[in-house]
Amino acid sequence: MATGSVSLTKAMWRGFLGKCPNCGEGHMFGRFLKVADSCDHCGEELFHQRADDFPAYLVMVVVGHLVVPAILAVETAYAPAVWLQLAVWLPVTLIASLALLQPTKGAIVGLQWQLGMHGFEAGKLRRDAGALVLVKANTPHAA
């Protein structure tokens, strides 16, 4: 179980790895892109997420910025046949897109969870209140 506050970077990294942004142990996804209703380790509710099309958009931007310059460089340097370009770059684009889609969605869900977006507000308030109690409990009392 997680104690204290989880940083934005850590929550997004845990999501990128497909783990619960709260504890980093449980699995975020029940299927390829279906976020589990709750963490199977700590019970944190994850069904509030509203990633929608944003992960797909980010993946298209990243893959496009990597693949298009490579295509242009190969075309300029070697001028291979069109069929060869298609045979190479279509699978590269597909594999890269599929490989990045779930991690990107996980990172977006981690971002939403940590910032308390959409239905995650109550959980964030609960976490912040718990962190505040921990800080108050650890401060020395004046005599």
Q: What is the pLDDT of residues 78-105, one digit of tens each?
A: 999 999 999 999 999 999 999 999 999 9
- Is residue 134 pLDDT above 60, yes or no? no
Cα separation, 126 vs 4, whole angstroms? 11
Cα separation, 4 vs 14, whole angstroms? 16
Across the chain, mean pLDDT equals 90
Cα separation, 31 vs 26, whole angstroms? 14
- Is residue 140 pLDDT above 70, yes or no? no
Cα separation, 21 vs 106, whole angstroms? 9
Cα separation, 23 vs 43, whole angstroms? 9
HSE-CB at 34 with a 13 A cutoff on CA atoms is 4
Using the structure block, give the residue that is written with the tokens 């298609």: 86
Residue 141 gets which letter from DSSP? P
Confidence of residue 31 (pLDDT cuts 50, 70, 90): very high
Q: What is the pLDDT of residue 2?
A: 46
